[in-house]
Every structure is written in C-alpha cells, then in structure tokens.
Structure 1
Amino acid sequence: MPLPATTTLHDIITTLDDSLALAEINDSNATQSSLLFSSQEKMCKYVLVVIDSEKLAIPIEGLAEIGPMPPITSLPNLPGWIHGIINQRGEIISVIDMNNLFTNNPSAGKVKNKIAVLYNSTMKIGIGIDQVTATLSRPDSDCVSLTEGTLNSTEPRVFYRGLRMGTDLYQILEPAAFLGMDRLMHYYLPE
C-alpha cells in the first residue's frame, strides 16, 4: 500500500502500523483478530535519546524529525540556553540547550551533533541531542510516575512520567507541555 503524502514522522509510522494491523487481520480469522485488536491497550511510540547525562523518551507524536545538526546562526542578546536558529527546509527554528534551560548549567557552549525537532500546531523548537539509543512502543501502563530527579524538580509538568528500560530510567519529555513552557514563550532579553 503506497504511503499518502504525510508531513510528520508520527503520521508515517501510524500509516505503517495501520497497514500492518490490517494485513494481520486479513491473514487470520477476521472475527478473532478484530476482537483481540480492539481489546489491546493502546501503544505509545517513543524515541529514546541521551542529552548530556539525561536519558529521555520523546513521544513520536510530538516529534517532527531527528537528524544531523545543521549550521546554527547565533543571534545577539538571547538567553544562554538558546544556541541560535537554523533554516530547516525554509522554516526558521530556534535551537536550545536543554541542559542550560533546565539546570542553568551550559554544555560549555558545545553544540550537539544531532537535533530533535519538537512541534505543535503553532511552533517548532530544536533541541540538541547526543545520541539516539532506540525507538520503541510501550503501553501507557508501562509508564511510571516521576517524583524526583533534576528535570522533574525543575519542570514537573514536562517530566512527570518515565519508562524503565532494564536498570535505566528514561524521563518522558511531554512535547505539548514543553512547547507551552513560559520560559520558551516569554523570556526577558538582557538590557
């Protein structure tokens, strides 16, 4: 089945998942498969990334893309947590230093080698990442509540859940809450 013209990674993956689910239903007893499919818990898709010492899980539904970091244009008089802007296929996107934004501890001015672009209906923001470790699907019941940690204590609306992967805890970055943060929307320029 050809993919429709889509604009986001979430749309592409959802289309593929729907096609696979449809093929599975057609290959087996339709009644049994549809009952099983409708009773399963909804799966959430995540990309697991590392930023400095933090391990994050980013829901694919709020992720526009991940790729190599393009050249960044610095702008004067911006807060230290904004590296600058990039031109990504004709769109101007701000690139931020997550470590500096949440902990006021700059990454020594070092720009990451990869970028994850988060989006909502009105804006896109790029965050520098060090490494993509995996992509996975997990039901909501696999998520644990976060009650401690640097990011949770700084922005509990953005980092209130996590995923355990073996001995590692990946904090789930909630894209809608992140993009709605006051610090991203209303910051004061130095005088």
Structure 2
Amino acid sequence: MADVVVQELLDQEDTQRGKYLTFALGNEFYGIEIKYVTEIIGVQPITEIPELPEYIRGIINLRGKIIPVMDVRLRFKKPFKEYNDRTCVIVIDIKDISIGLIIDSVSEVLSISDEEIVPPPDIHKGGNKYIKGIGKVGSDVKLILDCDKLLNDDDIENLESIQ
C-alpha cells in the first residue's frame, strides 16, 4: 500500500499544487501538502532521547540519516495507540529539518482545489493552530495540516541539535 502511494508521489512531482497525501488518525482524516512529503515508510525501531517533549518519540536511522519522529496523535493530545502493521511514518521537510510523522494509516493522494478548502472554525484563541483549512472531498472532509506549525521554536532548536 505504501509503495503505491510513494510511486504516486514520484509520478506527481511536477504537478504538486493542490495535491495532498491523506492519512487517518482514529476516525479523522487529515491532508498534508505533497510538497512537504519526501517519503513514506513503515515504523522503524525508535531510539528514545531524554528530555524531549512526549510527542517527539525519539529518532530513527533512515539509510544512515538520523530522523526525529513525532507521534501526531500525541501532538494533537489524543491517546497513544500501539503501533501496528498499518502504522506509517511520513517523512516531511519543515524549515530545513526532516522529521517523521507517525500516523495510524496512509489513505491516498487527493487533488483538492483551493475553492474546496475553507478556513477552520476559530473556536477559541489558539484552537486549531495545526489546521490550515478544511478540504471538502465529496461528502467527506479532510483536515489540512499546517506543517510549519507542527513544530514550535523550542522543538526546532532541539531537533536541529539532534540532526
């Protein structure tokens, strides 16, 4: 399944605008702009590093490159879920840092035009800070992540020292 998605990513490299990799966390579906995604892998052995926030699970060795991994469930204050054969790591680049996002399962690559994306509701100050928009896909919705806000300045400083 992940190999098919990776091939789709490679095929669509030139036409990334409006393309989103969708994935599941529990019953919610999220989208991430393809331009951030470098690859999708299965869960690797994770080496924990002390004194990092709980949602930064540690680091993995990906073909000789050290990549920190973030459990997106924990980042969104959802309960931890044991990793299984559907759990994937989406490796993305944010602000010159490669980081792996641990998610429940990869869905598909979708085209969502700007007209089909609405701003998230502003429920209260600071709410929805990770959500850039809500993509309408048929009768479904996909929560579009703002990758730049997944990491705060402290996270970036900590992760830069690891890489």
Matched, 1:75 2:49: yes
Larger strand percent: 2
- Shift in Å, 1:50: 0.4
Query: In 2, distance between residues paired with 1:70 and 1:169?
Result: 30
- Shift in Å, 1:174: 2.1
The residue aligned with 1:171 is 143
- Distance change >3 Å, CA 166–CA 78, structure 1 → 2: same
- For the 8 Å contact 1:50–1:129, the answer to whether it is kept is yes
The residue aligned with 1:185 is 156
Structure 1 segment 87-102 matched on structure 2, within 5 A: 87-102=61-76
- For the 8 Å contact 2:116–2:137, the answer to whether it is kept is no
Tell me the alpha carbon deviations over residues 4-46 of structure 1, each in whole angstroms, 9 at most, x when there is no partner: xxxxx8675234x5xxxxxxxxxxxxxxxxxxxxxxxx94111
The residue aligned with 2:107 is 133
- For the 8 Å contact 1:85–1:95, the answer to whether it is kept is yes
- Distance change >3 Å, CA 106–CA 55, structure 1 → 2: same
The residue aligned with 1:23 is none
| Unaligned segments of structure 1, at least 5 residues | 1-8, 18-41
Aligned letter for 1:138?
Answer: I
Query: In 1, distance between residues paired with 2:154 and 2:104?
Result: 23
Identity of aligned residues (%): 28
Give the secondary-structure state (helix, strand or coil) at the position aligned to 1:71: coil
- Shift in Å, 1:137: 1.6
Give the secondary-structure state (helix, strand or coil) at the position aligned to 1:146: coil
- For the 8 Å contact 2:59–2:69, the answer to whether it is kept is yes
- For the 8 Å contact 1:80–1:106, the answer to whether it is kept is no
- Shift in Å, 1:83: 1.3
Aligned letter for 2:54?
Answer: G
Give the secondary-structure state (helix, strand or coil) at the position aligned to 1:153: coil
- For the 8 Å contact 1:83–1:111, the answer to whether it is kept is no
Larger helix percent: 1
- Distance change >3 Å, CA 51–CA 153, structure 1 → 2: same
- Distance change >3 Å, CA 143–CA 102, structure 1 → 2: same
Note the aligned Cα RMSD (angstroms): 2.8
| Unaligned segments of structure 2, at least 5 residues | 1-7, 159-163
- Distance change >3 Å, CA 77–CA 43, structure 1 → 2: closer
**TM-score, with structure 1 as normaliser:** 0.65
- Shift in Å, 1:101: 1.7
Aligned letter for 1:14?
Answer: E
Larger radius of gyration: 1
Query: In 2, distance between residues paired with 1:148 and 1:116?
Result: 28
Query: In 2, distance between residues paired with 1:71 and 1:170?
Result: 30
Query: In 2, distance between residues paired with 1:115 and 1:48?
Result: 13
Give the secondary-structure state (helix, strand or coil) at the position aligned to 2:150: helix
Tell me the alpha carbon deviations over residues 91-115 of structure 1, each in whole angstroms, 9 at most, x when there is no partner: 1111112222222x4415x246211
